[in-house]
Amino acid sequence: MEPLKPEEISHPPMDQLQGLEYCIDSNPSWGEAVALGFQHYILSLGTAVMIPTFLVPLMGGSDGDKARVVQTLLFVQGINTLLQTLFGTRLPTVIGASYAYMVPIISIIHDSAFTRIEDPHMRFNSTMRAVQGALIVASSLQIILGYSQLWAICSRFFSPLGMVPVISLVGFGLLDRGFPVVGRCVEIGIPMLILFVVFSQYLKHFQVRRLPMLERFALVLSVTVIWAYAHLLTASGAYKHRPAKTQMNCRTDKANLISTAPWIKIPYPLQWGAPSFDPGHAFGMMAAVLVSLIESTGAFKAAARLASATPPPAHVLSRGIGWQGIGILLSGLFGTLSGSAVSIENVGLIGSTRVGSRRVIQISAGFMIFFSILGKFGALFASIPFTIFAAMYCVFFGLVGSVGLSFLQFTNMNSMRNLFIVGVSMFLGLSIPNYFREYSASALHGPSHTRAGWFNDFLNTIFSSSPAVALIISVLLDNTLEYKDSARDRGMPWWVKFRTFKGDSRNEEFYTLPFNLNRFFPPS
């Protein structure tokens, strides 16, 4: 065997991923786009149902309250997704609920001012209004950072090397939402995981009329099969005498959403009453807003790569953060019980289907709004056991995490400096949040437990997020450790042309505002 030439061994760095069928502005046929949009809608239901299912009972809410919160969350999620894809970064990203807001919201729920209210319905309404007030005030942080271009200035300290741990841990940092949840109902979760991998990878070349059906629609096909299988197990009484936790994760009739959801209901602002405002609650919520900003920054960059676009220029990224702040404001006004951020699982689905079309995501937003108004129909899909979603998360979160690792190709990984920064920031980005979560689970409060509740919420929220910890450590090390002599090793020669809108001619194709709005908001 002849020795390989050097050019045959190495793989040159590439700005855009190869093998994608559709990028941002190239659209599949309308029928295929609608089916793909419906897939994104189905996937977005997981988090949209899980967060209210956990929080509403803690607030004293009923199943009817939970159904209304889910409807409201999906309605606002659809609006925010449309706004982001039209006027924000214009990347094909779903803007959904975020777990980053759980710590400050749970802190508000446990506030003595609400726990001493005896009537459950009054306690739910009072707590909801307090959460709304905190979100409304905290949203100003992202709005200011985004529209003032302050986040664009901050992003100039980011390099490909510094972004690797952040983007990677946007996916890998959600490891506790993957197989640990699948393990709660292995008879459903493992078949779902195997079936999805088989359809999307091993049988991806199976075509019907030149359309790779199994690769493109692996999610909806595998969900349909396993959902029917789970319903069969439920109807046959397989879980009749099993523990309550097992029934909650395995049965298809435990969500109680179909019976309690109204047939038609249009969510509207202040539907729970006038928001109440508390400085401590708002300050704690600002930590969650910062975390969602960091997580969304990494997710935007991952989505750009999976959609075969150039990295978003600094001012485009900042514009998207500003619109996400508007989304958090809408979440507070409508009462979604969570702030908004980029949906990581939907970014992963873009890579799995190899379709990064903006139109597909906008169609999915239409499904969110439509089915949130027609409550019974939306509740039917929302009754899918969460274990099924967790099985898909194992694939999608891992895929997003690997996109972050792909940025290493622009750096010199034979440099001990770079190895140190990436290794330390990724390890601590996983280890520190794991410590905070385990401590909270055992002590029923975070490691920061002073008399100042707002201070506790701030620290416990920041350090429970893997991307936030990774950003703090990697950017600090990358900009202080031999940074003057390491620009090439950090990947800056490749990165610098994407900092400005005019730095790369492709930016105009991907990020120009619609309706000729660039006349009024010229790119910088």
Q: What is the DSSP string of 196-211?
A: HHIIIIITTT--BTTB
Query: What pLDDT does 486 receive?
Result: 84
pLDDT classification of 123: cutoffs 50, 70, 90: very high
Query: What does the DSSP assignment read for 241-307?
Result: TS-HHHHHHH-SS-S--TTTS-SS----TTTT-S----HHHHHHHHHHHHHHHHHHHHHHHHHHHHT
DSSP character for 523? -
Query: What pLDDT does 524 receive?
Result: 61
The Cα 510–Cα 308 span in angstroms is 10
pLDDT in tens, 106-122: 999 999 889 999 999 99
Query: What pLDDT does 485 receive?
Result: 78
Does the model's pTM come out above 0.75? yes
pLDDT in tens, 493-523: 888 888 777 767 777 888 888 877 766 666 6
The larger pLDDT score, comparing residue 184 to residue 483, is at 184
Q: How many Å from the N-terminal Cα to the C-terminal Cα in the chain?
A: 54
pLDDT classification of 127: cutoffs 50, 70, 90: very high
Contact between 17 and 306 (Cβ < 8 Å): yes
pLDDT classification of 210: cutoffs 50, 70, 90: confident
The residue with tokens 């209304």 is 68
Tell me the average pLDDT across 285-296.
95
pLDDT at 312 over 80: yes
Tell me the average pLDDT across 119-133.
95
The Cα 167–Cα 502 span in angstroms is 25
The Cα 161–Cα 421 span in angstroms is 8
The three-state secondary structure class of 403 is helix
Least reliable range by pLDDT among 13-17, 48-52, 84-88, 404-408: 13-17
Tell me the average pLDDT across 145-160.
91
Task: Give φ, ψ of 95 to 5 degrees.
Answer: -100, 105
Query: What pLDDT does 5 receive?
Result: 65
pLDDT classification of 388: cutoffs 50, 70, 90: very high
Q: How far is CA 248 from CA 62, 98, 143, 419, in A?
A: 16, 22, 39, 44
Tell me the average pLDDT across 370-381.
82
Q: List the one residue out of 303, 308, 186 whose CA is nearest residue 249.
A: 186
Query: What pLDDT does 363 receive?
Result: 97
pLDDT at 237 over 80: yes
Least reliable range by pLDDT among 9-23, 116-130, 143-157, 285-299: 9-23
Tell me the average pLDDT across 471-490.
89
Least reliable range by pLDDT among 18-22, 191-195, 287-291, 442-446: 18-22
Q: How far is CA 442 from CA 99, 301, 446, in A?
A: 19, 35, 9
pLDDT classification of 7: cutoffs 50, 70, 90: low
Tell me the average pLDDT across 8-28.
79
Query: What pLDDT does 281 receive?
Result: 93
pLDDT at 1 over 60: no
The larger pLDDT score, comparing residue 197 to residue 514, is at 197
The larger pLDDT score, comparing residue 250 to residue 322, is at 322
pLDDT classification of 30: cutoffs 50, 70, 90: very high
The Cα 165–Cα 329 span in angstroms is 29
The Cα 250–Cα 388 span in angstroms is 9
Tell me the average pLDDT across 329-357.
94
